[in-house]
Amino acid sequence: MTEIALPRHSELPPQATWNAPSVFSDNEAWENEWKRVSVELPDRAQKYQGHLADSAAVVFECLQVRDETLRRAQVLTVYADMASSVDSNDQSAVAMAGRARSLSGQVLATFAFVEPELIAIGRTRLRGWANSEPRLALYAHYFDDLFRKQAHIRSGEVEELLGLLADPFSGVGQNESMLTNADFQFKPARSSTGEELVMSPSTYDGLIHSPDREVRRTAFESMTDEYLAHKHTLASNLATSIKQNVFKMRARRHDSTLAATLFEDNIPVEVFHNLIGVFRQNLPTWQRYWAIKRKALGVERLRYYDIWAPIATQPPTVSYEQAVTWICAGLAPLGDEYVRAVRRGCLDERWVDVYPNQGKVAGAFSTGAPGTHPFILTSYHDDLFSLSTLAHELGHSMHTYLTFENQPIVYCNYSLFVAEVASNFHQALVRAYLFKTHDVAQFQLALLEEAFANFLRYFFIMPTLARFELEIHQRLERGEGVTADTLLKLMDDLFAEGFGGQLEIDHERHGIIWATFGHLYADYYVYQYATGISAANALAQRVLAGKPHAAEDYLRFLKAGNSVYSLDALKIAGVDLTKPEPVEAGFAVLTEMVDRLEKLVG
């Protein structure tokens, strides 16, 4: 069986695809808007450059024009990126995505004069203007954040150059996506009876959860072997991306790439190191889980592809429509209005591109811009894992939805740090609902498997990748070289420490796993999955326990966007990630799950 067994995106029923016409009626309409923004761009900025010190009114008008121009560029990008992601073989869509990123870079460069001019005006004068000009008051937090960053904002000329670099610097991430999603040719997986199965980025998750060990083995080996065949290109590409991060760190005069990245959201580096410290202390919890799973599976040695193997012999079939019903029921503590928005987005407004198809990129994500729906890309497989992924992405989308409804454009771009709380919070609530309402042992076992898969990704693999990422950044900051072999050895060593002897080591295939995560092209992204799942479960426990105002506090957090700093937004919801306790509480949840599994399987 080959990739042609998957349908083309155009062959799927419209109801199962994202609502592209709600953004632009067709590609021609997109083209016309792209031209309008491109033509208008110089004139929209030129009238303000050099004049921001004239008055509060001029500052307000300039910021409004800048924000609206950025919004229009983001809408163009959302449309193009969704179109290219649902079909990476659509070269027209791929070209549009490249042009949208280029235009966004031009917008950033054109308005690069704004922040240096605001800094030149001075904090005291701007604060006075914000107090005296009602329209400018909404920018008060923006101004405070600007002066917090003052030491790392360069001259208008340098800022313009850094803005222009946004487009060419995005190329390495795009190269990785095109290589792995469009150019890679994976060998079919194979069942224990010899049947060939489609192996592609959008089918891999279904295969690796198969009860047939031969399917899991051949799918894992097909994936990793294809990546290994391109290990030198992939290693060079990642090294280039990290060198770009080192360049930006030095251009903005930070001490390290970690400090530079966390500084953007006013997060102390101790938050990162707290996570890694607590994670390493609690590795025995994971090793205990794998020992139980090996016995439950009845295998002499557990292999990497076994850690997703099902133990339940009768896992439930969960249609997309059933998943929406259960997700909505699980989210009921957040109120009727919230639940109605979720149901409407899934079933009526077509936020979700649902099923696998030829050329669809791997994984799942949520995206949107002010003025669009918060769209979701996923590859639904009629099981609890797909339900969980949908709940996760709906957490992102509802965060986006409520932010867009309640914040001006300048505060709509909330950080990744808080984003991963919203997504994992959804999963925690829905999982609690399903545990409570389905007491059949096989269902509970299947649900535990989904929960462990979620925690495995976010509370084991992602912290391990964070350690990998930090080490590679530090080597390149010191001017040391990295090669494919050094990357493979580091990844293999980190996994060996994490597995603690409970898994049989396959050095090269374990070593290449870093390359299967495009997340590494977003600087220090992956650690936020682990902090996110920690905070999410802490907040879910508050809501489920009926703590006074817990649901209302959580909704206030979602509506805040980035109108306050990320850590402060989470404090509004009821959790403090400057301390290690939330991560420790996350491991307490994991320990309870291991106990529950041990009891179920005996």
For the annotated catalytic residues, the residue numbers are 393
Query: What is the rounded distance in angstroms from the CA atom of residue 440 to the CA atom of residue 431?
Result: 15
Helices (H), 269-415: 269-281, 283-297, 320-330, 336-347, 384-406
Long-range contacts of 204-210 (CB under 8 A, 24+ apart): 204/362, 205/379, 205/381, 205/385, 206/381, 206/383, 208/305, 208/308, 209/308, 209/309, 209/310, 209/383, 209/385, 209/453, 210/309, 210/310
A 10 A CB-CB count for 229 gives 13
How many Å apart are CA 234 and CA 216, to the nearest integer? Answer: 24
Joined tokens for residue 2: 């080959």
Amino acid, single-letter form, for residue 15: Q
Distance CA 178, CA 507 (A): 26
Distance CA 167, CA 41 (A): 16
Residue 204 · residue 223 · CB < 8 Å: yes
Q: Measured between alpha carbons, how far is 390 from 546 in angstroms, rounded to an integer? A: 25
Nearest to 531 by CA among 567, 474, 564, 577: 577
How far apart, in whole angstroms, are the C-alpha atoms of residue 594 and residue 587?
Answer: 10
363 contacts 346 by C-beta, under 8 angstroms: no
Q: Left if phi > 0, otherwise alpha if psi is -120 to 50, otherwise beta: which for 440? A: beta
Task: Fill in the amino acid letter for 478.
Answer: R
- Residue 249: φ, ψ to 5°: -60, -45
Q: Residue 566: which of 542, 595, 531 has the closest Cα?
A: 531
Nearest-angstrom CA–CA distance, 164 and 102: 9
On whether the CB atoms of residues 476 and 242 are closer than 8 A, the answer is yes
Q: Which residues pair with 190 in a beta bridge?
A: 196
Q: Tokens 């530079």 map to which residue?
A: 260
Tokens of 36: 């309008």
What contacts 1, CB < 8 A, 6 or more positions away? 188, 195, 196, 197, 198
Please tell me the distance from the alpha carbon of residue 528 to that of residue 532, in angstroms, as a whole number. Answer: 6
Strand 352-353 and strand 375-377: the pairing is parallel
What does the alpha-carbon distance between residue 107 and residue 101 come to, in Å, rounded to a whole number?
10
Pairing of strands 196-197, 189-190: antiparallel
Q: If you search the block for the tokens 């000329």, which residue do you land on?
A: 157
Which residues on neighbouring strands pair with residue 189, listed in sequence order? 197
Q: Per DSSP, what are the bridge partners of residue 365?
A: 377
Identify the burial level of 114 via C-beta atoms within 10 angstroms of its C-beta, where 0-12 means exposed, 13-18 middle and 19 or more buried.
buried
- Cβ–Cβ < 8 Å for 78, 400: no
**Count of H-run helices and E-run strands, the chain:** 27, 5
d(CA 589, CA 600): 17
Give the whole-angstrom CA distance, residue 455 versus residue 305. Answer: 16
